[in-house]
Chains A and B, each alone.
Chain A
Amino acid sequence: MKTFLILGAGTAGTMVANKMSQHLDPMEWKIVVVDKDETHIYQPGLLFIPFDIYTREDVIKPRRDYLPRSVEFIRSDIELIEPGENRVRLTHEKRVINYDYLVIATGSRIAPAETDGLLDNGWHENVFDFYTLEGAVALSRFLKFWKGGRMVLNIAEMPIKCPVAPLEFLFLADWFFHERGMRDQVEITLATPLPGAFTRPRAAAILGDMLERKGIAVEAEFNIMEVDHEKNVIRSYDEREIPFDLLVTIPTNMGAEVIERSGMGNELAFVPTDNHTLQSKQWENVWVIGDAADVPTSKAGSVAHFMLDVVIENILRHMEGLKPLPKFDGHANCFIESGFDKGILIDFNYDVEPLPGKYPLPGLGPFSLLQESSVNHWGKMLFRWIYWNALLKGEELPFESQMSMAGKWS
C-alpha cells in the first residue's frame, strides 16, 4: 500500500483530499489527512462576526464531514516533517507516517508575538485581531457596548492572508457605526506599511478614494515597532505615534510552526514553492497548496481553489513519470464587501493587476470589477453556501483556474 499524506484539513487540504480520492485506486493508495483540531472554519466569514452579521455557529462545521469516507483523518499536532526521509512525526501517540507523496496545506497563522507589546494587557480587551475565531468573537462583544472613540486598524507587516480583508473591515465598520447612529463618535484610521490602501496601483487608487469618501484616514508606510499600553499609542520605527482607544490588528502572518521546526520554510515559515508548478523547490514528491506556499500571490481561498487543478494534474503526471506543467498563473479573485449591502470584485494574477470592467459568469453575473454593486454583495453572501456545498468537495465551479481578460478594460 502506498501513502498519500496531506498535512492540514483547511480549504486547500480538504479540496485535495476530495479530488485525490477520485483519482487514486483505493486498492493501491491510502490517503491520510492530519489536522490539529476537528473544526473547519469558514474563514471569509470571520470578517462579519465583529459586526454581528454572522455568529460563531455560522462559520464552523466538523472537518470530518467534508472529507471523503475513504480517507483516514488523524487529529494531531505535527511534531516534525522529515522530507529527506519521506517521513512525518505526529505528537499523537508519537505516530510516524512514511509517505510516498506529501501535500503541505498547513496554511498561515497570525503571530502577534512578533510585535512588541501586542500581546500585553490589552490583548482581547481593547486590542483585537479578527483573523481567528476567538479574536472575531471577542471583538464583537467589545463593539456591542463601545461608546466610540479612536479606532485604529493596523497591518503589522506584509504579506497577510486576504489582503483586502482589512479594507472590508473598515468599510463595514463605517457602515456599522452609521447604523448605530454613532459614526460621528468614531475616528477611523488605517495604519499600513504599504504606500497606500492596497498593493496593486489601480486598485489602490480606487480603494483609497473610497476610504477618503467614507472619512477614513490613512497613515501610509507605517511600520509598527510597538504597542505602548501606558500611552495607548502604536509607535512606528520612524517614531510616529498613533493614539487609539480600540486597536484592531492584523499581526504578522507566518506559516505553521512545524514548517519552521522542520527547517522547510523561508523567513516567514512559508515553504519555497515553484510559482507555476506548485512543486516544492527542494523535494520532488512534496507539493504545496494554499497559504503555506511562498508564491507571490494573495493568500486566499480563491487562490487555493485556482491552485487545485494544477496541483492535482501535476501530481498525477509525476506519478506517471511526466514533468509537471507550469500552469498556475497566480490567479486570485476577491469579493470586497464595501458596506451598505454593496461589494466590489477584483480579479488578477501574477502579471495582470486588478482592472475595471465586467466579470462574466453564466447564471449569476456579470459582476462589476473594481466598482461597487449590490450584485457583488449578494455574490459574496452566496459564497458561503458555495464554499460548504461545492468548493470544499472539489466540484466544478464556473471559474477558470487561469485568469481571463474577457470583460476587463485594460
Chain B
Amino acid sequence: MSTQTATTILESLALDEEGFLLDPQTWTREIAQALAQAEGISELTEAHWKIIEFSRESATESGASPTLRQITKGTGISTKELFALFPKGPAKKVAKIAGVGKPEGCI
C-alpha cells in the first residue's frame, strides 16, 4: 500500500484521540494496513495477520481486546517475537490495528 493510499484511508476514518477506530464494525483489511503504517509498520506479514485475526476472534468472543499472554498462548508466537512485530507496546498496537478497541487496564 502506498503512503498516499494509506493517508487517504486514514483521513476517511473516525478515530478517537489515541487513534483507535471509533466503530470497530467498519474495520477492513485495508484499514488495518493503513493503521499499521501510521504505527510505523510498513508491511503486514503473515505473522502480523495471524495475530490480528486471532485478536479479532478473541475480542468477538470475550468482548475485550486480548492481553499479551492471550495472544502468545493463542497464536504460539513468543512475547519476544510479538515485540519485534509490533514494537513498543504490542497489546495496544495490535488492538489498534485489529480494530478491537483499547485494551482495558486490568484492575
Contact = CB atoms under 8 A, between A and B. Distances in A.
Interface in A224-278: 225, 237-238, 267-268
B49 interface: no
Contacts of A225: 79-80
Nearest to A198: B105
Contacts of A267: 67, 69-70, 73-74
Interface string A273-287: 000000000000000
A318 interface: no
Contacts of B89: 221, 238
Contacts of B87: 238
B107 interface: yes
A296 B62 CA distance: 12
A159 B106 contact: yes
Given A157-B69, A268-B69, A200 B107 contact: yes
Contacts of A68: none
A223 B68 contact: yes
Given A158-B105, A297-B107, A332-B107, A237 B70 contact: no
Contact of A194 (B69, B74, B105): B105
B106 A237 contact: no
Given A199-B105, A200-B105, A332-B107, 14 more contacts: A158-B105, A158-B106, A159-B107, A199-B106, A223-B68, A223-B83, A237-B80, A237-B83, A238-B87, A238-B88, A267-B67, A267-B74, A268-B69, A296-B107
B70 A163 contact: no
A163 B83 contact: no
A195 interface: yes
Nearest to B89: A221
A199 B107 CA distance: 6
Interface in A108-161: 157-159
Contact of B106 (A221, A238, A296, A332): A296
B104 interface: yes
Contacts of A223: 68, 79, 83
A296 B104 contact: yes
Contacts of B74: 267
Nearest to A298: B107
A163 B105 CA distance: 11
B72 to A, nearest CB: 9
A158 B83 CA distance: 17
Nearest to A272: B62
A194 B87 CA distance: 16
Interface in A278-308: 296-298
Interface string A175-213: 000000000000000000011000110000000000000
Interface string B70-107: 10011000011011000111000000000000001111
B88 A163 contact: no
Nearest to A348: B107
Contacts of B67: 158, 267
Contacts of A297: 107
